[in-house]
Structure 1
């Protein structure tokens, strides 16, 4: 019989694969893919955020009002009293009944609207179904937006998952200083709601003597300047544009070397921006970010090209964070911090130490037991066991998986399961040898007889792991991934690998005929 067989070749290739791709993780080299440590192993920040979904409904209502304003201006339809009532409805009047068909056709294209018409006045509200859907989409969008911001910020392996109807869990491994924590929290919670709003030039000089209720009567709101709360602006409540039309934002520097943000609008936004500036030369346009006026320059000419600028005393870091927030999209609703837990790096180091001791001690006990009880058959099983661990680490590193404490527990459990398969095989071989069956036949029949039990045990465990991954979150997913990889690797090493080793050593075993030395049979 040939020393090298296909089983042994596959096993050797598996060993090479496992060792090569796990070295970067074990040695923490600068190059190569490595396993990232989870929050519980390297320390970091855990936050539970609540999304204020009612604000998403208000934002949707405001966007509908903006659409109505742009349509009426573009089609030269005379409307009056366009305003938002109680943050949940849009009210306006059409002065010419002949324009009703145009307005009705435009409103039909907006999904989820309940339209009420009384004489010349329209009242627009969201349907109950659309309101629920808007709130649900807002939470999903906040999850995606926060994840995009953290990715652009450069944080390694952030975890952002939805919990319940309105809550979001954010885990940031590697956040170790108060400054890093503050920067991350600011980036996550910043709404980055950019709006371009027309200044009410007719009443602008009355802003300091006007209440919010008086401003609302004219369809206006009062906003403060970002650098001086004593400076106020009276602007139209319905914005000309909002951040949804922004496609890019970059940090630049003005002539005095102060950080500014250049933003670019999409084609629809560029058209609206160009039309508005062309019709309002000589008037002011307020650049509003998160409810604060950063600047209100005079419009000197029509501005084409769909680009603009935000200036307002930014630091370089603040400008960078705002640019990231604008690029990744504004939050459809603000978030509030419900819970915060910081895991220190020292606690993470203690977790690594404790879990490593558990893994190594469990591995050594199993390793020694197999050698004492099964002799050289135990050594063969231990080779498969070591290979199994290398393969687990290599596959996790290749996919950029994050190792957590439950993941470490999964590795320890996999060690026991990998040995379990070898124990079943070893016992079947020993039973046949005690019955006087020849060594070659005992090995072949031993693997054949053990196969059903091994497959049943591993497949059922794998199914449970798949269910845990599908319905679990965070650490549970980490445990499921680790144990799934371990099961598949153990089936490769325990069934295919050790069988290949036995086939290669079979001539020597048959010649020696020392069953005690090879299989522990006295």
Structure 2
């Protein structure tokens, strides 16, 4: 009779080979995909940032003023120029009949305190809205920093909130001082891009003008990013035409002179606003302002809609970094680095050593127990356990996952869980043998009965691990990843793999009939039911 194809055994052999091959670069430090070590294991950069939430309120006010100016102009509502005076927006309407239209525009924005007196509108944020803006600023800053680090290509950085307005950034990896400085700038640079109209009527005497005088005209004096000689200052309208939130994409490039520039594209709303402004201001200058500095102020020659270019004294890295920050979005406010420290790998080396001692000692004790108690069945379980660990390392290497200290704890925990599954299977096989079943039948009964319990317990643990990953951050996610991989690998090796080994060895087991050698059970115990329901005598009578 032709022997059935043992797909279980070949599945185990295949995943074991793949696991060993993919694990070699991580274990022996050879070229190839490797597991990335976390900050607690290999060291890295640790930054504590303070978000200037008061600037976030000013930025939101500026954005609101820009929107009001655009919408009133779009609806052809005649108002005096929109100005920002300290913590409020002020403008005057010329025709009182247009008040309902203005109120309709303002009603779309929540958290505003609107006062109208003698046709003059004064708009400020309510006291209830200000804490919300500050909280949004923190959350937006965290999200923006994460996007920047992801686009930059860093593996598993940790960005978490600390206290009321602080953010802790942990970036694993050994970096040079130059790389650390570039990374610090990438993380903390606001990259607040604004398109602002130049006040051509008064700009000629900008060098003689005070900030208070400029404020009285609704203007602001800004410096150029590069030294422009006597024209190093520019007078621009305080309310921007558009800001960086309208940018949909940005990329570094080179202009006709071979200098690095950053090209950008606007979204549909931004393109419409930009097109309307440029079509009405041909022959006038438009300032491109980044973080309070003028990078260029070209003259508008024609209608511009959906794209533009930022030129400056860029090199390859600075142009790339600026495009990253523009694509990820501007920070809602500037941030101050209140603590910067490099975490050395010495602590990580001690942690790795301690974890490896725990893992190896635990593995050795498990091997000793399984072999002494189950004999060859114990050796089969140990082989499955080895494949289990190799699979975890292989999958993490394949996807470039980061291994943290809690992640190593998850691997150690996986060792115990994988052995537990094999113990359940071996005990169910022993029970079936004691009831007088044949070896082949006992193996099938053992796996059938054990699988239900193993699936129930492992799926429950897997769901808990997924919840930890979804709701946790940093170290907790590292633990959840290795635990989840260990559970899946355990089910594969214990239920599928070892079953295939038993089927391959079934003929030898049946010939020898030495149950003590194979399962650690005495041949004299066959046919003895140790359950309380049936005695040995009743089994014999049956």
TM-score (norm 2): 0.83
Query: For 2:520 and 2:251, how far apart are their aligned partners in 1?
Result: 71
1:164-179 correspondence to structure 2 within 5 Å: 166-179=165-178
2:526 corresponds in structure 1 to: none
After TM superposition, give the deviation of residue 446 of structure 1 in Å: 4.6
* CA–CA distance in structure 2, aligned partners of residues 315 and 7 of structure 1: 57
Corresponding residue for 1:59?
A: 59
For residue 418 of structure 1, report the CA deviation from its aligned partner: 1.4
Between stretches 22-31 and 330-339, larger displacement belongs to 22-31
SS at match of 1:302: coil
1:150 paired with 2:157, answer: no
Q: CA deviation at 1:291?
A: 0.7
- Which residue of the partner structure matches residue 191 of structure 1? 190
Report the 3-state secondary structure (helix = DSSP H, G, I; strand = E; otherwise coil) of the residue aligned with 2:313.
coil
| Aligned-partner Cα distance in 1 for 2:260–2:459 | 59
Shift of 1:94: 0.3
Match of 2:241 in 1: 240
Moved more, 201-210 or 486-495: 201-210
The 5 Å alignment of 1:294-443 reads 294-297=295-298, 299=299, 301-345=301-345, 347-427=347-427, 429-430=429-430, 439-440=439-440, 442-443=442-443
How far apart are 1:440 and its partner, in Å? 4.3
Alignment of 1:106-255 (within 5 A): 106-127=105-126, 130-162=129-161, 166-228=165-227, 231-254=232-255
Which residue number in structure 2 is paired with residue 95 of structure 1? 94
Asked if the contact 1:36–1:401 (Cα under 8 Å) also holds between the matched residues in 2, the reply is yes
Instruction: Give deviations 1:370-406, integer Å, cap 9, x for gaps.
Output: 3344321121111211121122233334544321121
User: Offset of 1:26 from its aligned partner?
Assistant: 4.4
Distance 1:283 1:411, change over 3 A: same
The Cα of 1:502 is off from its aligned counterpart by 2.3
Aligned residues: 519
Task: Pick which of 206-215 and 117-126 moved more.
Answer: 206-215
Give secondary structure in 2 for the equivalent of 1:196: strand
How far has the Cα of 1:234 moved from its partner?
2.5
Q: Tell me the distance in 1 between the aligned counterparts of 2:513 and 2:246.
A: 80
* Matched residue, 2:510: 510
Residue 285 (str. 1) matches residue 320 (str. 2): no
Question: Could you tell me whether the CA contact under 8 Å between 1:373 and 1:520 is conserved in 2?
Answer: yes
Unmatched tracts of structure 1, length 5 or more: none
Question: Equivalent residue for 1:259?
Answer: 260
CA distance in 1, matches of 2:24, 2:104: 65
Measured against aligned partners, the alpha-carbon deviations of 1:5-57 in whole angstroms (never above 9, x if no partner) come to: 454455445435544554554466656x5433222233322333333333333
Deviation at 1:126, TM superposition (A): 3.4
Asked whether 1:269 is paired with 2:305, we answer: no
| Cα separation, 2, equivalents of 1:400 and 1:165 | 33
* Cα displacement string for residues 116-138 of structure 1 (whole angstroms, at most 9, x for unaligned residues): 22230112233556545544443
Q: CA–CA distance in 2 between the matches of 1:204 and 1:34?
A: 58
Unaligned stretches of 5+ residues in structure 2 = 523-542
Aligned mates of 1:517, 1:250 — CA distance in 2: 68
Measure how far apart 1:183 and its partner are.
0.4
Displacement of 1:479: 0.9
Question: Secondary structure of 2:80's match?
Answer: strand
TM-score by length of structure 1 reads 0.86
Quote how far apart the aligned CAs of 1:288 are.
Answer: 1.5
**How far, CA to CA, are the matches of 1:483 and 1:254 in structure 2?**
51
Larger deviation: 217-226 or 442-451? 442-451
